[in-house]
């Protein structure tokens, strides 16, 4: 039963893909009332993955990555360049950094992640890549012959290395990991990725961290934990991310890792109560996915903001409609298939499921040859929970089906 | 009738669209996308879902 102020809008905090999909889903599900989207970036929602790949290699513009606008979205209010600073779940208000207090009828939390930074002096030449503005800033410095140190060897770091290398930069990856992308991919595949990146001319210094970034006003060199010093013009920090949850502190929501949600994407309080009027979508949402088990997890894959945004929008629209459909919509199965892809030089990776759930000895080659094309299976308790294609696509589809159906 | 356009310069043949709208999209044996450029209005939700899940954002509904 809806008891909120019906004159107040649904407020969506976060104007990236997850917030957009939630707004679209509210409209598609029949909600015609007011929607207000608050976002700290000045740009309308855009697609982030090309920022480390295609777009960074060519020209970085908002047009090149903007999501198309959809019917029914014309009357959505966008408050861009505004940051949420606090929320009151009892009074149903949001406070923003420009001092405004915005009442809401329902709240969607979609503030996502930000790039983690290394803790050194802020001099020119230090970059992260999370936003369009980040990518524009980095692109300007990736000139031919530039010496680039990429810190971190996850997917983002490896993609950025490949792109910078293709632009004519000399690239060194510095990473505390033993092998690149080892955490999601496992030891065997990660070793092969190192071999391929080395063949392309990317040097990988593993088992080391950054001790210092030297330079008065701009980067001159990077000092490593083993004492080595590498001359550099540009440092790209791809050392993971942090959840944008500060504005939710003290709200009573469970902020253990991101924001806890139930399978209907309703936010859960520290008392274990799911709120019908507060939803969580995207990277920041820690939610259970019955495709795998009942353990709530955050999933930082590209498809998750879309899947969770659609789910939250449909459930919230049913609650707002107050037409008796709510319980039925909540009970509908929701088990999104995590998927990601990564392009590095000619290496084309594509994956379904949760590869990171699996120990090294439960990773098996299903088809092909690791040094050429392969499909790699990730098993938990003999159940297929993830599949990785190296240069393989259609061949993955039966495995995807197997994962979706419970993996046996 | 819905008209669909795929920018084949953008398309990287990931095949995510195949799951959302299998009547219109498929991957052939060479891992290349093949698609049917028209769909009945009843398919709109599925086609929109295919647009949404394309990692390259290469699919467009021509209104």
Mention every residue, 6+ apart, whose C-beta is less than 8 A from residue A49: A302, B55
Share of chain B above pLDDT 70, in %: 100
In angstroms, the separation between the Cα of residue B37 and the nearest Cα of chain A is 19
* Residue pLDDT, tens place only, A101-140: 999 999 999 999 999 999 999 999 999 999 999 999 999 9
Report chain A residues touching chain B, CB-CB < 8 A. 21, 28, 47, 49-50, 54, 65, 67-68, 70-71, 302-303, 306, 337, 339, 341, 343, 348, 350, 392-395, 397, 400
Average pLDDT over residues A186-201: 96
Q: Which residue has the tokens 């990317």?
A: A202
Q: Which residue has the tokens 């503030």?
A: A111
pLDDT of residue A60: 78
DSSP string, A63-126: HHHBPPP-TT-TT-EEEET--EEEEETTTTEEEETTS-EEE-SEEEE---EEE---SS---BTE
Whether the predicted pLDDT of A222 surpasses 60: yes
Instruction: Find the range with the poorest average confidence among A59-73, A96-110, A208-222.
Output: A59-73
Q: Give me the residues paired with residue A213 across strands.
A: A222
Which H or E run includes A375? strand A374-380
Report chain B residues whose CB lies below 8 A from the CB of A390: none
Q: Please check whether residue B41 touches A, CB under 8 A.
A: no
pLDDT of residue A33: 97
* Residue pairs between chains A and B whose CB atoms are closer than 8 Å: 42
- Torsion sign (Cα): A194, A196, A197, A200: positive
Share of chain A above pLDDT 70, in %: 99
pLDDT of residue A408: 47
- Residue in A394, A399, A404 to test binding to B, most B beta-carbons within 10 Å: A394
Per-residue pLDDT band for A251 (boundaries 50, 70, 90) equals: very high
Mention every residue, 6+ apart, whose C-beta is less than 8 A from residue A230: A147, A149, A172, A174, A205, A221, A222, A224
- Residue in B52, B61, B62 to test binding to A, most A beta-carbons within 10 Å: B52
Which ipTM was obtained for this model? Answer: 0.92
pLDDT of residue A47: 94
In angstroms, the separation between the Cα of residue B34 and the nearest Cα of chain A is 12
Residue among A308, A379, A386 nearest A24 (CA): A308
Whether the predicted pLDDT of A242 surpasses 80: yes
Is the model more confident about A150 or about A64?
A150
Integer Cα distance of A132 and A17 in angstroms: 13
Per-residue pLDDT band for A1 (boundaries 50, 70, 90) equals: very low
Whether the predicted pLDDT of A2 surpasses 50: no
Q: Give me the residues paired with residue A285 across strands.
A: A259
Q: Is A172 helix (H, G, I), strand (E, B) or coil?
A: strand
In words, the CATH class of domain B2-61 is alpha beta
What does the DSSP 8-state code read for residue A252?
A: S
Report chain A residues whose CB lies below 8 A from the CB of B25: none
- Predicted TM-score of the model (pTM): 0.95
Q: Can you give the residue ranges of every domain in chain B?
A: 2-61
| Residue B57 main-chain phi, psi, to 5 deg | 50, 45
Per-residue pLDDT band for A407 (boundaries 50, 70, 90) equals: low
Instruction: Find the range with the poorest average confidence among A65-74, A226-235, A277-286, B39-48.
Output: A65-74
Q: Are A17 and A306 in contact (CB under 8 A)?
A: yes
Whether the predicted pLDDT of A366 surpasses 60: yes
Could B12 and A49 be called an inter-chain contact, meaning their C-beta atoms sit closer than 8 Å? no
Could A392 and B31 be called an inter-chain contact, meaning their C-beta atoms sit closer than 8 Å? yes
Report chain B residues whose CB lies below 8 A from the CB of A306: 52-53
Which H or E run includes B60? strand B59-62
Q: Which value, in Å, is the radius of gyration of the alpha carbons in chain B? A: 10
Report chain B residues whose CB lies below 8 A from the CB of A392: 31
Integer Cα distance of A321 and A172 in angstroms: 55
Strand pairing report for A241-243 and A113-115:
antiparallel
């Amino acid at each position: 039963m809806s008891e909120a102020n019906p004159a107040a809008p649904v407020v969506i905090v976060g104007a990236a893909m997850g917030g957009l999909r939630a707004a679209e889903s509210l409209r598609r599900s029949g909600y015609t009332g007011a929607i207000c989207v608050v976002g700290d970036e000045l740009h309308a929602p855009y697609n982030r993955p090309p920022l480390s790949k295609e777009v960074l290699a060519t020209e970085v513009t908002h047009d090149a990555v903007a999501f198309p606008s959809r019917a029914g979205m014309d009357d959505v209010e966008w408050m861009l360049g505004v940051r949420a600073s606090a929320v009151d779940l009892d009074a149903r208000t949001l406070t923003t950094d420009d001092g405004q207090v915005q009442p809401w009828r329902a709240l969607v939390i979609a503030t996502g992640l930000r790039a983690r930074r290394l803790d050194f002096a802020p001099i020119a030449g230090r970059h992260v890549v999370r936003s369009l503005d980040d990518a524009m800033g980095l692109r300007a410095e990736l000139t031919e012959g530039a010496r680039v140190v990429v810190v971190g060897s996850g997917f983002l770091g490896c993609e950025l290395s490949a792109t910078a290398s293709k632009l004519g930069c000399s690239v060194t990856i510095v990473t505390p990991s033993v092998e690149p992308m080892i955490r999601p991919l496992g030891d065997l595949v990660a070793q092969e990725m190192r071999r391929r990146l080395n063949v392309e001319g990317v040097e990988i210094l593993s088992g080391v961290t950054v001790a210092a970034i030297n330079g008065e006003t701009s980067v001159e060199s990077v000092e490593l934990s083993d004492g080595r010093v590498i001359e550099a013009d540009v440092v790209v920090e791809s050392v993971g991310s942090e959840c944008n949850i500060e504005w939710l502190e003290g709200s009573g929501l469970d902020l253990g890792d991101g924001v806890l949600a139930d399978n209907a994407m309703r936010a859960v309080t520290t008392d274990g109560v799911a709120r019908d009027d507060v939803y969580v979508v995207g990277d920041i949402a820690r939610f259970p996915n019955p495709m795998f088990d009942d353990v709530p997890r955050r999933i930082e894959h590209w498809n998750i903001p879309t899947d969770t945004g659609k789910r939250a929008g449909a459930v919230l629209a049913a609650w707002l409609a107050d037409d008796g459909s709510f319980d039925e919509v909540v009970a509908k199965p929701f088990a999104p298939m995590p998927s990601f892809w990564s392009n590095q030089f000619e290496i084309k990776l594509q994956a379904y499921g949760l590869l990171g759930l699996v120990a090294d000895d439960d990773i098996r080659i299903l088809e092909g040859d690791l040094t050429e094309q392969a499909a790699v299976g990730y098993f938990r308790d003999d159940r297929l929970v993830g599949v990785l294609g190296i240069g393989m696509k259609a061949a993955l589809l039966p495995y995807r089906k197997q994962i979706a159906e419970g993996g046996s | 009738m819905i008209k669909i356009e795929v920018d084949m310069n953008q398309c990287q043949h990931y095949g995510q669209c195949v799951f959302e709208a299998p009547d219109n999209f498929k991957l052939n044996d060479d891992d290349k996308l093949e698609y049917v450029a028209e769909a009945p209005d009843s398919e709109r939700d599925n086609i929109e879902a295919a647009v949404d899940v394309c990692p390259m954002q290469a699919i467009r509904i021509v209104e």
